[in-house]
Amino acid sequence: MAKQKLDSKEKKLLIKKLIDENKDFLKGKKKYDISDEFGIFKLYKLPFNEITFKASDKLLELLPSKFLKSDEDVKISTKSIKTVDKTKINLYIFENKKIATDKVILYIHGGGFVYRGSKNQFDLCRRFALDGTYKVVFVDYRLAYNNEFPTCINDSFSAYKWIIRNKKRLKIDPKKIVLCGDSAGGCLCVDVANRAKKEKVIPPAYMMLLYPVLDKRMNTESIKKYTNTPIWNSVLNKKMWELYLKDVEYTSPNELEDMTHLPNAYIETAEFDCLHDEAVDFASKLKKCGKNVILNETKHTMHGFDMKECKITEEAIEERLEILKKVFKKEKSR
């Protein structure tokens, strides 16, 4: 794919937009007890406008070639697949070179449905594969800013079906598929599980939802409270839902009347995150359905905290790895 460059006018508009947005953010920024381990990320707010989406899309499409390289421990390959509308998307497959496994994670990245996968998400997939318990398939789904709903869901489910169809090639057990997603990717994980039920395909065995987006109604206390938190907040969240859905009818995960078809889950929250409460609510509803749910409420953290390599991030990743090792063993909710 040919590299695309921003012209001078687009660059000026982008720079002005970023300055204006972050000037307002810093001027009205409230102080939260977020760990100093996160450094400058405590002062950062994710830009959310069409100019940034386009610029980011052009930039991040170059990341796979830079960061998705095999090493002595992990093999990374790219597979192009056709989606339901016959459009091609890429899957990135992470496999441990020394340890065989019949388990696989479908990783669905976050980014407000409008940003491509980033280095920290690729690094997490590499880490999962390096552990040796799972292969990982990362789906590079098409983005919502220039594709109609439900393209993100369709692409994610296409990846899920591809894994099932290619069980022999991947040498995996299709009954041992774990859905893992951060932020908007968490929402897409639940959507994939819903679609699996609707289309009567093998259901996922487990879900790992990291500070997930789960409720378009935006009526929780944390939504009302965290309007100006770093990285992500309820103001941006509202813009995200409006752009993603426009006027399309959609039942978000927390609105589901029946959750009995959903698998057991690990749900991780960030303390100073507008999405905190909807994740807690979702965990509670799953438990009421008899599901085995582990809720990990991290402290002194903000949405997307694992973008920064630090002690808190490492502890969270270690917890995720431990949980994944126990997925197919009986665990009690806590």
DSSP 165: H
C-alpha–C-alpha distance, residues 120 and 92, integer Å: 15
C-alpha–C-alpha distance, residues 2 and 83, integer Å: 22
C-alpha–C-alpha distance, residues 231 and 41, integer Å: 7
Q: Does residue 3 lie in a domain region?
A: no
Range of the domain at 56: 29-325
Q: Does residue 294 lie in a domain region?
A: yes
Helix or strand holding residue 114 (H, E): none
pLDDT tens-digit readout, 124-172: 999 999 999 999 999 999 999 999 999 999 999 999 999 999 999 999 9
The pLDDT score that the predictor gives to residue 328 is: 84
CATH classification at residue 47: 3.40.50.1820
- Which portions of the chain are predicted below pLDDT 50? 1-3, 24, 26-28, 331-334
> CA nearest 290: which of 253, 261, 326?
261
Q: Does residue 4 lie in a domain region?
A: no
Q: Token digits for 260? A: 């009995």
Instruction: Note whether 191 and 139 are within 8 A (CB).
Output: no
Length of the chain equals 334
The pLDDT score that the predictor gives to residue 5 is: 55
Q: Does residue 155 lie in a domain region?
A: yes
The pLDDT score that the predictor gives to residue 60 is: 79
Q: Does residue 104 lie in a domain region?
A: yes
Q: Does residue 13 lie in a domain region?
A: no
Instruction: Note whether 85 and 116 are within 8 A (CB).
Output: no
**Is residue 206 classed as helix, strand or coil in its secondary structure?**
strand
Number of independent structural domains in the chain: 1
Amino acid at 20: D
C-alpha–C-alpha distance, residues 152 and 141, integer Å: 6
C-alpha–C-alpha distance, residues 22 and 30, integer Å: 13
Instruction: Note whether 129 and 95 are within 8 A (CB).
Output: yes
Which residues lie across from 45 on neighbouring strands? Answer: 231
Q: Does residue 10 lie in a domain region?
A: no
The pLDDT score that the predictor gives to residue 12 is: 63
